[in-house]
Amino acid sequence: MKAKFSPSLMCMDLLNIREQIEIINERADFYHVDIMDGHYVKNITLSPDFVKAVKPVCKLPIDCHLMVTNPEDFVEMLAEAGADYICPHAETINAQAFRIINKIKSLGVKVGVVLNPATPLSYIKHYIHLLDKITIMTVDPGFAGQSFIEEMLEKIEEARDIKEKNGYKYLIEVDGSCNEKTFKRLNDAGCEVFIVGSSGLFGLDSDLTVAWDKMIENFKRETE
């Protein structure tokens, strides 16, 4: 599978949202929208209102990563705002995982789950077959710019092996430190969707078009 890229919109130049989204429209595969409640993680970023505001100019699927304590409070709002994927943390839904997954699907939205570094894949084994995407965090959640956690490569390989063995359809995505230092190891382990933020994309150049070209050049150099 050809590698897919999902720019993290919280890392873009928020003073030039439309211009940046129009550049991303022609290059990326998804938009990654982090939604934090200040409780599950000690930060607050984007919101359902942000999704609603940018949806008219977005040409790609909007992927919403819920770093929130009560994801069920956000599901309907995000579906109405135009989310294409809703991805809560497994740690926040396991008491009612099947109900929340079914709710998301009933709204016509694809569903994923996100796994913190310390959470094993076995935690989601009873509903892994229902998922459209699994996001493996390679940093602890909540803040951009953290160091890559090497132990996550084994988890990515495990997700790939389970997918291949059972014929599952979920995408394997990685969130955290996707950049030229990690592209090769992540690609070799089985990552299919790379969430790119400060180090992987936006910090490469103030001109996002130039930054994107640099990112692709870095990826090709490291993986081909």
Is 34 one of the annotated active-site residues of the chain?
Answer: yes
* Burial class, 136, CB count within 10 angstroms (exposed 0-12 / middle 13-18 / buried 19+): buried
Name the catalytic one among 37, 161, 175, 205: 175
199 annotated ligand binder: yes
Do residues 172 and 190 make contact, with C-beta atoms less than 8 angstroms apart? yes
34 annotated ligand binder: yes
Segment 23-29 long-range contacts (CB within 8 Å, at least 24 positions apart): 23/208, 23/209, 23/212, 24/60, 24/208, 25/57, 25/58, 25/59, 25/60, 27/212, 28/60, 29/4, 29/5, 29/60, 29/61, 29/193
198 annotated ligand binder: yes
Is 140 one of the annotated active-site residues of the chain?
Answer: no
Enter the tokens of residue 117. Answer: 């570094």
DSSP for residue 82: T
Do residues 69 and 38 make contact, with C-beta atoms less than 8 angstroms apart? no
213 annotated ligand binder: no
3 annotated ligand binder: no
Q: In the block, which residue shows the tokens 């070209």?
A: 213
177 annotated ligand binder: yes
161 annotated ligand binder: no
197 annotated ligand binder: yes
6 annotated ligand binder: no
Give which of 3, 47, 1 is closest to 28, Cα–Cα: 3
Name the catalytic one among 34, 63, 84, 132: 34
175 annotated ligand binder: yes
Alpha-carbon distance of 70 to 20, in angstroms, equals 31
Q: Which residues are catalytic?
A: 34, 175
**Which residues make up each annotated binding site for substrate?**
65, 142-145, 175-177, 197-199
**Which residues make up each annotated binding site?**
32, 34, 65, 142-145, 175-177, 197-199
**Which residues make up each annotated binding site for a divalent metal cation?**
32, 34, 65, 175
